Structure 1
């Protein structure tokens, strides 16, 4: 059995994401559905806590009126004062307890939700074509989605907080005020309208800011990494270019701060207007209270209760508008980006095994990397036609930038060809991502800050976990566990392990590639950091280890290419020559010219 991968322009890759511009409530409902699917019981319990929290503050106000009315003696039989004090204390204690419990549970649930949103985010990213990581716009979308994933809980539960705490509290309090004097209740409702309108305008402005800030923020982080990042700091110090990157970092940071400053000024103008309105309303209601108590329209207890509750009432009003709703609106832009990102309805790419003893076939394969600035296609591979029989070892040679690594990525199934087809075996199957049966060691291999054994086993977590096999592979490629104190020794200084040389890291990467159970092994410049003698030894061992699979080697050292059954010379994205070492050296051509040029250095 075999399968074929046809050319494809990955859906959504390099294209602008079409976001669904829902309103604030609609986005909250989307978030709530997501949260309910994650933790149905937790969300229901959170809602109950918020309602009890609102009830506790209303009981506090009523207990104050009950206390002062009892003292004033206007209600006839008065229970003992101690009982009234206990009831008042219990109401205050209940309010503070519910405040702490609701906030604490919210923090706990937020951590659980963030963990799940990260899983969803990583799963969505995993579904994307590898070529997506070559597009700046796709990276910006990922950056915004990562930020949005961290605020999903607090933004999405805003509507729960408003309904079960704030609306409940304000509705009961408004009814309470209305029962005392209708004008009091109506006044509190009118105050909300301009505040909500102002916040909606602020939300629209902040969304535009987030879209502008994402690429600037990513550049700022990149330049910071160039200055202090582990991958860059050696060259940065060696070339003395720290100031250069610092200047670029400062320019990007200044631009980013300018965007936030502009937004902050707009925000503070809105807040000032809201505060003026709130203070004016506060003064008017106090004046009304004084008038009503002087005219005996309300009792002294009611006056004391309302007067004491006004601070909490307007405190909650300011909290819901200037903090809870405002922060939610500000973060809605990033959360909306998260929703848009995970709504990518790209289907799961099929994970399949390679067939047994298959032939690799490329028919009219061309490939172009994205050129977002011009919108044009720049082909790095053009009309490649290739057959690789089962068990053959093929070496790819050629100048830098000729397309060798890209060809490996296509054969490995990481990239889909822009044009043409890639098939494995005779039978054709639908498009899918090859996961099992292919192993590779690329030029920029990973250096995991884990134990030596984990660094190697990670390529095949479901494979044979026997330590004997692991130690044999280490021996075959020249990896000595003694470098780090044994198989379980930690590699890399990041978490207190042992740092090894570049050549030793490269041997570990080769061991990782060989450890994976594979039918196709690709080595892209696997010995660049290893001296010539060690390279000769490694290739001899590699020849033995690759007898039962198809192998592809990319190398610039033509002496090493001689171990291959077949050599392909790649130039300008095309196969220029194809044959064994003896066949290619016997004719005037690119291979012979490169071989003779390299030979001069060894004479």
Structure 2
């Protein structure tokens, strides 16, 4: 249960204030397709005028029929009536009404077609905007759970608000129709308009209230909804199936999902019952108002104030106007409710990254001359009081192969993230060829850094596309892709695939071929070679390889990185010993530095860790 104390109430002003996003939504829709947007509005403008015309033509038909029945008969046959010309006006009116009915159907079908196409174009366009915005954000803005909730809400609004477009344009159409009907009613009985508004106002306010309640419920259920999605993924994913079965986790996941889903269902059920009860009451009031107006119009017709045609016109207009106003008010409240969700989307678009290129940023120095220097660098992750690195001083010379060694949490991966400017230091500074890293153009800097992390992405694309992702602008260069695969020893893996480099990888889609962990890692390392960057970094990417395969990969890495600045991170000392220099990290600082033999001989921390690992092979 979501307690009201935890969820701030939204005032009517705040709810209506959410409509401020509608102009931005319209701009987004217009940018998605100006032609379809204009066509949708034009079609609805045509449809808006038809109801009043049909009602008025119907009134004229009835009045003409009544008038003809009060006159002497033109003859016993239809031919006599046609010959007399007394059916000319009536026949013309019937033809006009038929044409209006056909136009209504055609315009409705055309409008539905255009709206469906526009909704798809908008969804695609907004999805692109969402991905473009996400690509600009800092890593910090992805790793925060609050920001993940925010991104999840924004992602849902891209596809979940397409019906809002139809509602908005429908509202415009209904407003135009209401204005035309109101003018007609005002000419006969203006008091009917006031009666309608008084009857429908409670229903409108009720809908506004319950839409806001629904938004509050959805907003504060976002973390639990993400947990539901995660549990659903765990319980029905090929990636997790082995361990779920081996550990017998199926009942546990089902029970956990049921408990989360049950709480959410209970809240939704309570809100739905309250909404239905109040909605029924307000609907009954509106119906009573209609029949009160109907009785008064009938009385005035009996008294002779209105003709029979006037009666049908007024009752038809009143019924249609009541229905349109009810739909308009409820639709407005729904739009106001949905506009609350639009805040999730447009506020996400307003997030600004903090790690950006400075004005007149420098290009990456090619070639790198002096290298990378950390000067008294301190960094702690957002929402953490513990320093990942502190008072860190180190230098990685240009053209040098450096290995980073240390226990988990010593700061190895943090150093890599700082070099790639996925984060900026909290204290101190990092120099690249003597200039602050922040002075360089961010995109150019990252284009010259090839990094493969331990938790690299397994793209469910073809083998060639997996490797080509390392330098996307060269992703069509098969020669470069093959060369990168040969360097990483991925070429023999790909050669065994039925479709070679065109083979889709992973089991997510049809015809996909799954790879072992070690094979995936060779593909990922090829991605780093594809980059042909001046700085190469391998951050524990070979954990799934056996010792021999890892040695071969790092031996090739050593050979192929000659002339480049390279950083490798591994827990296997047999691998890191091939580096020019080894930096031993402890508590976020460099505890020792030197070649393998020198560090072993010194009997320090490195020698201790090396001896512990070596004893395991004896």
**TM-score, structure 2 length as denominator?**
0.88
**Alignment of 1:525 onto 2:540:** yes
**Alignment of 1:331 onto 2:338:** yes
CA contact (8 A) 1:36 1:43 kept: yes
Match of 1:73 among 56, 67, 75: 67
What whole-Å deviation, never above 9, does each CA across 1:512-564 have from its counterpart, x for those lacking one? 11111201111011221111222222222111110121111110000100111
Q: What residue number does 1:368 align with?
A: 380
What whole-Å deviation, never above 9, does each CA across 1:492-528 have from its counterpart, x for those lacking one? 2222222221111111111111111201111011221
**Alignment of 1:571 onto 2:586:** yes
* Structure 1 residues 159 and 529: CA distance shift in structure 2, 3 A: closer
Q: What residue number does 1:553 align with?
A: 568
Q: What residue number does 1:498 align with?
A: 513
**Alignment of 1:394 onto 2:367:** no
Q: What residue number does 1:5 align with?
A: none
CA contact (8 A) 1:370 1:378 kept: no
* Structure 1 residues 127 and 484: CA distance shift in structure 2, 3 A: same
The structure having more radius of gyration, on CA atoms, is: 2
- Superposition CA RMSD, Å: 2.5
5+ unaligned residues in a row in structure 2: which ranges? 1-12, 72-85
Q: Secondary structure at the match of 1:219?
A: helix
Q: Secondary structure at the match of 2:535?
A: strand
Q: What residue number does 1:173 align with?
A: 181
Q: What residue number does 1:403 align with?
A: 411
Q: What residue number does 1:100 align with?
A: 109
What whole-Å deviation, never above 9, does each CA across 1:305-355 have from its counterpart, x for those lacking one? 344455544443343344x33442332222111111112244783397531
Q: How many residues align?
A: 578
CA contact (8 A) 1:67 1:88 kept: no
Structure 1: distance between partners of 2:477 and 2:24: 47
What whole-Å deviation, never above 9, does each CA across 1:30-88 have from its counterpart, x for those lacking one? 32233344444443332222221111222221221122122112799652543332222
* Structure 1 residues 81 and 226: CA distance shift in structure 2, 3 A: same
The alpha-carbon deviation at position 233 of structure 1 amounts to: 2.5
Q: Secondary structure at the match of 1:462?
A: helix
Q: What residue number does 1:15 align with?
A: none
Q: What residue number does 2:78 align with?
A: none
Q: What residue number does 1:45 align with?
A: 39
CA contact (8 A) 1:391 1:549 kept: yes
Q: What residue number does 1:536 align with?
A: 551
Q: What residue number does 1:285 align with?
A: 293
Describe how 1:474-485 pairs up with structure 2 within 5 A. 474-479=485-490, 480=492, 481-485=494-498
The alpha-carbon deviation at position 440 of structure 1 amounts to: 1.0
Match of 1:263 among 263, 268, 271: 271
Q: What residue number does 2:365 align with?
A: 355
What whole-Å deviation, never above 9, does each CA across 1:387-427 have from its counterpart, x for those lacking one? 11101111111112222122211122212222222221123
Q: What residue number does 2:466 align with?
A: 455
The alpha-carbon deviation at position 146 of structure 1 amounts to: 1.1
Structure 1: distance between partners of 2:274 and 2:346: 27
The alpha-carbon deviation at position 262 of structure 1 amounts to: 3.1
Structure 1: distance between partners of 2:581 and 2:506: 38
Describe how 1:129-168 pairs up with structure 2 within 5 A. 129-155=138-164, 158-162=167-171, 164-168=172-176
Structure 1: distance between partners of 2:204 and 2:104: 27
**TM-score, structure 1 length as denominator?**
0.90
Structure 2: distance between partners of 1:266 and 1:478: 64
Q: What residue number does 2:305 align with?
A: 297
Match of 2:92 among 83, 95, 109: 83
Q: What residue number does 1:440 align with?
A: 451
* Structure 1 residues 444 and 172: CA distance shift in structure 2, 3 A: same
* Structure 1 residues 346 and 529: CA distance shift in structure 2, 3 A: closer
* Structure 1 residues 430 and 200: CA distance shift in structure 2, 3 A: farther
Moved more, 382-391 or 186-195: 186-195
The alpha-carbon deviation at position 268 of structure 1 amounts to: 1.9
Q: What residue number does 2:249 align with?
A: 241
* Structure 1 residues 334 and 508: CA distance shift in structure 2, 3 A: same
CA contact (8 A) 1:49 1:98 kept: yes
* Structure 1 residues 464 and 60: CA distance shift in structure 2, 3 A: closer
Higher relative contact order (CA 8 A, sep 6+): 1
What whole-Å deviation, never above 9, does each CA across 1:153-207 have from its counterpart, x for those lacking one? 5436645432x31121112112212222232333234334333333332343233
Q: Secondary structure at the match of 1:493?
A: coil
Structure 1: distance between partners of 2:522 and 2:352: 40
* Structure 1 residues 431 and 337: CA distance shift in structure 2, 3 A: farther
Moved more, 468-477 or 86-95: 468-477
Q: Secondary structure at the match of 1:69?
A: helix
CA contact (8 A) 1:53 1:102 kept: no
CA contact (8 A) 1:352 1:435 kept: no
Q: What residue number does 1:513 align with?
A: 528
Structure 2: distance between partners of 1:425 and 1:472: 30
